[in-house]
Structure 1
Amino acid sequence: MTVIQQVSVNRMKIIMFLPLLLLVCSVSADQTETAGHQSCPQDFHAALRELTASLAVQNERITVLQTENQELEAKLESQKTEINQLKQLSEVTQVAFSASLLDQGEGDTGPFNDHTTLVFKHVVTNIGNAYNKNTGIFTAPVRGAYHFDWKVLGRDSTHTGAYLFRNEEIIFLAYESQSSGWPSASNGASLLLEVGDQVTVRLWAGSRTYDNENHQTTFSGHLIFTM
């Protein structure tokens, strides 16, 4: 039984005692009427005052306990919310992905007239599901420092290259030019990202890149730490 329930029981006992007191007083009055005694009304009023005072104290105590109980429930609810938030944060802080350009087969991508987002379809790791293999876009799920690496390979070409973009901002370029053969370029960068920032690799305008079952044109990234 809780403290509030116990106080309520005590109050009910006091209330139930009043009719009994009246009955006892009535019987006592009948028995002593001939003797001229009139102490029962005085005793009754004194007892009534004591009971009234006791009820007031009990009511005040119940009010205090109810307030404390409400505060405790609110505190417990707040703690549950904090635990859920910490659990969700723990889940989103596990972010890492790695993908190559072609999911199967081999072939060239490009050239294009403008810098074009490469869609890396062969995903080998996507912890946190922050990378979208249908769009080639990585979206930051939490504010923090992230690291990215990308590599492009050209075939029978004089040059190949790709930019790393944060939203619409050029960060770094990986570029290689040679007279013939298979040029390749790679680079890496660590970025501070806000929630919702997007990171992409975009093929250098006018160049092309190649991939096959060896997965040589790649894009990877992971969360270093939250901020």
Structure 2
Amino acid sequence: PFIAAQVSELAAVKAKANVTESRVEALRREGEAKRLAFSAALLESGAGNHGPFNTHTTMVFRHVTTNIGNAYSPSTGLFTAPVRGVYHFEFHIYGHGSSTNPTAAMLVKNGVQIFATYEKQSEGGQKTSNGVTLLLNIGDVVFMRLLANSWVHDNQEHHTTFSGHLLFTM
């Protein structure tokens, strides 16, 4: 009877330990999901223009300085929300003056334009920027799109950038 009681008690302790371990693991995953931030510049290195193209084009920001949570893909330019929450994005777009082509881009969520930037002057450098806070569901996709017939410039100083971070989960 004494050994049977100890075996029973040991089984109960093991069961509680397994439940506790599962809860700790769930809290760890939840905590990791709450840590999401990225910043990237258009060009990995060097200097160059992107555009103009005759259609809207996804901008792929390849020089990633921060990608906590790996929700931004430097190979596709897409940010995919891994958790439901409120996110903040900002983008800074640089270009050179042109009499024909503006410096213009838009932030897109799930294929729909949300906010845009636009600047057109005949000469000199030009910079335009914008930002937005969005409620995203798991799997929502946010990216930057170069407007048709517009162009941007980037160089080793990384003037053309796209950043975002999770403010809080919902």
Counterpart of 1:55 in structure 2 is none
Q: Residues 93-108 of structure 1 correspond to what in structure 2 (within 5 A)?
A: 93-108=34-49
Q: Is the 8 A contact 1:157 1:183 kept in 2?
A: no
Aligned residues: 167
Counterpart in the other structure of 1:224: 167
The equivalent position to 2:57 in structure 1, one of 105, 116, 120, is 116
The CA RMSD over aligned residues, in Å, is 2.0
What's the % identity of the aligned pairs?
Answer: 49
Q: Which runs of 5+ in 1 are unaligned?
A: 9-61
Question: If each structure's helix is expressed as a fraction of its own residues, which one has the higher value?
Answer: 1
- Unaligned 5+ residue runs, structure 2? none
Asked which structure has the greater CA Rg, the reply is: 1
Matched, 1:166 2:109: yes
* TM-score, length basis structure 1: 0.67
1:178–1:71 CA distance, 2 compared to 1 (3 A): same
Distance 2:12 2:98 in 1: 72
> Structure 2 vs 1, CA of residues 71 and 170 (structure 1 numbering), >3 Å: closer, same or farther?
farther
- Pick closer, same or farther for the CA change 1:211–1:115 going to 2, 3 Å: same
> How far apart, CA to CA, are the structure 2 residues paired with 1:102 and 1:114?
20
Equivalent position of 2:118 in the other structure: 175
With 74-83 and 106-115 compared, the bigger mean Cα shift is at 74-83
Matches within 5 A, 1:186-205: 186-205=129-148
Distance 1:171-1:6 versus aligned 2 partners, 3 A rule = same
- Which of 145, 148, 163 matches 2:89? 148
Determine the C-alpha separation between the residues in 2 that align with 1:214 and 1:71.
61
- State the SS of the aligned residue for 1:183: strand
Aligned pairs for 1:19-168 (under 5 A) are 66=8, 73-158=14-99, 159-168=102-111
Deviation of the 1:192 alpha carbon: 0.8
Tell me the distance in 2 between the aligned counterparts of 1:131 and 1:169.
Answer: 18
Shift of residue 183 of structure 1?
A: 2.6
Per the alignment, residue 59 of structure 1 pairs with none
Partner of 1:6: 2
Equivalent residues of 1:98, 1:126 under 8 A apart: yes
Whether the 8 Å contact between 2:97 and 2:120 is mirrored in structure 1 is no
Aligned CA distance change for structure 1 residues 204 and 71 (closer, same or farther; 3 Å): same
SS of 2:163's equivalent?
Answer: strand
The 8 Å contact of residues 97 and 122 in structure 2, kept in 1 or not, is answered as: no
